[in-house]
Every structure is written in structure tokens, then in C-alpha cells.
């Protein structure tokens, strides 16, 4: 029995008229997501980054040479609002990890780019991040790991 089993048991007692079995999946996914996030952000902290800053630097690094994106494009690649993006970019710029400049294509637009320090930071942080993710998924039996990814991918496709 785990915490979620206790919640399910209480609801079954209080509302026997409802099928509360989805709590077993959703509740555990929710708790797992919170636990995984804590494990992930610990690595970001080691590189003096928050989760949002890591996300922005990673999106810029994935863009390839010259490691830059327009703020709107950057927001799309990180799934945050442009307002939240501005705050993240402000912090990263103050730390010397990114720079902003006018767009050569759109006179009103801006471009956010990794600085050399930013590229070195995200490369080190990403190596540590991947090692951490390998450790976390390594806790699973290889067969479970192979089965879980397509299940989660399929469910995510349906929800999006």
C-alpha cells in the first residue's frame, strides 16, 4: 500500500457509487511528476540555473548555430508565455548567458542568442541532466522502460 492506495480506499468508503480507479494512475503520475521535478531541478541548481533558465538555454542550444531564436519562437519551444519568457531572458542576460539584439529580418523584432558563457553553461548542465535522467529511468526494469515510453507517448498524443 502506498499513499495513493490510501486515498483510493478512503474514496471507495465515502463514495462507493463512483469508480475511483483512475486515481491510481493519475494520482501516481502526479506524485511521480513532482518527485521527478525535484530530482531534475537539483541538477539545474548545481549549475546555478532554475528550471525555466535551463529550458531557455536548452532551446537556444537545440536551435543549432548560431544558437539564437526570436522570443516568440523561443516561447513556443519552451511552452511558456512571452511574458514569462521576458523574465527568464532578463535573468539570463543579467548573468551573461544570453544576449539580445535587433532582428536582421524584422526591424521591430528582437533575437535572443547564447553567449559563449551560456553555451558552455548549457553544455555542462545538459551533460549532467542526461546523466541524471539515465539514473532515474535506470531505476526501471528495462522491459518496463521499453513499454512505458510508447504508452505515455500515445496518451500524450490523445490529450494534445
* pLDDT, mean of residues 2-18: 96
Q: How confident is the model at residue 160 (pLDDT cuts 50, 70, 90)?
A: confident
116 with 135, same domain? yes
Domain count across the chain: 2
* DSSP reduced 3-state for 45: helix
Q: How far is CA 76 from CA 107, 140, 156, in A?
A: 21, 31, 18
User: ω before 66 within 30° of 0 (cis)?
Assistant: yes
36 with 104, same domain? no
Q: Which domain holds residue 113?
A: 49-159
* pLDDT, mean of residues 134-143: 97
Query: Quick one: CA torsion of 117, 43, 49, 28, rounded to 10 degrees?
Result: 140
pLDDT value of residue 75:
86
133 with 75, same domain? yes
pLDDT value of residue 143:
97
List pLDDT tens digits, range 114-132.
999 999 999 999 999 999 9
106 with 55, same domain? yes
22 with 71, same domain? no
Contact 111, 70 (CB under 8 A): yes
pTM over 0.85: yes
Tell me 96's DSSP state.
Answer: T
Q: How confident is the model at residue 107 (pLDDT cuts 50, 70, 90)?
A: low
Amino acid at each position: 500500500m502506498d499513499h495513493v492506495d490510501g486515498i483510493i480506499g478512503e474514496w471507495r468508503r465515502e463514495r462507493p457509487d463512483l469508480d475511483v480507479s483512475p486515481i491510481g494512475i493519475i494520482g501516481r503520475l502526479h506524485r511521480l511528476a513532482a518527485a521527478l521535478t525535484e530530482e531534475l531541478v537539483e541538477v539545474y541548481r548545481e549549475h546555478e540555473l532554475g528550471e525555466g533558465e535551463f529550458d531557455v538555454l536548452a532551446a537556444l542550444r537545440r536551435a543549432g548555430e548560431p544558437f539564437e531564436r526570436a522570443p516568440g519562437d523561443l516561447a513556443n519551444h519552451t511552452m511558456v508565455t512571452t511574458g514569462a519568457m521576458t523574465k527568464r531572458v532578463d535573468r539570463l542576460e543579467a548573468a551573461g548567458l544570453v544576449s539580445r539584439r535587433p532582428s536582421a529580418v524584422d526591424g521591430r523584432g528582437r533575437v535572443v542568442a547564447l553567449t559563449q558563457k551560456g553555451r558552455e553553461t548549457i553544455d555542462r548542465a545538459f551533460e549532467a541532466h542526461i546523466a541524471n535522467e539515465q539514473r532515474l529511468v535506470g531505476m526501471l526494469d528495462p522491459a518496463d522502460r521499453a513499454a512505458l515510453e510508447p504508452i505515455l507517448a500515445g496518451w500524450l498524443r490523445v490529450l494534445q
